[in-house]
Amino acid sequence: MADRREDLRAADVDRQFVAERLKAALDEGRLSLGEYDDRLKEAYAARTYGDLDGILKDLPGFHPAGGSQLAPQEPVVDDPDERRGRSDTRSNPRWLIGIWSAWLVAVSVNVVIWALVSLSSGEAVYFWPMWVAGPWGAVLLVSTFSVKALGHSPDENEQRRYRDS
C-alpha cells in the first residue's frame, strides 16, 4: 500500500475535478488552447494524485498537500458558510440561480405564447402553461429547500473528496 498521497491511485472523479480546474484556467486566460489540450490529455491519462498535482501545480488557487511553503494553506474562517464558499448565508449557489432562471425563461415563453393565442382567438383559452410551470417549479422548490435546509450543494462533496485525499 502506498504511504504517500502522491503515490495513491486517482479515481475518475479526481481526474474530472482537474479537468474542470483546467477549463476554468483556460476561461481565465491562464492557459492557451494548446496548453489546455495537452494538460487535459495528461489529466485523463494520470494514474496517481502526484500526476494530477503536477498538472495543476503552476496554477493559482491550487496547492498540493504539503507542497506550499506558506502557512496556513487555507485562511482561518470562523463562519462555516464562508468555508463552503458562501460569505453570506442568504446567497445562493450559482447552479441554483441557473436552474431557477431556466424555469423562469421557459414559463415566460409559454405564458407569452398562451397570451398571444388568447388575444388572437378573442377569448382566454385554457391556461396550459401551468403544466409546464407547476411540476417543474415543484421540483425546483424541493431542491431549493433541501439546499437551504441542509446547507450544502451536491457538487461540494466531489470537490472535497479530491482536496482531502
Q: Which residues of 145-160 are buried (b: 16+ CB within 10 A; e: fewer)?
A: eebeeeeebeeeeeee
- Written as one string, the DSSP assignment of 110-146 is HHHHHHHHHHHHTSPPP-TTHHHHHHHHHHHHHHHHH
What is the per-residue pLDDT across 16-60, written as a single tens digit (0 to 9) for each? 999 999 998 898 899 999 999 999 999 999 999 899 999 988 888
3-state secondary structure string, 33-86?
Answer: HHHHHHHHHHHHHCCEHHHHHHHHCCCCCCCCCCCCCCCCCCCCCCCHHHHCCC
pTM value is 0.40
What is the per-residue pLDDT across 54-97, written as a single tens digit (0 to 9) for each? 998 888 875 554 544 434 445 545 555 544 544 444 567 787 88
Give me the residue label for grid cell 494530477.
52
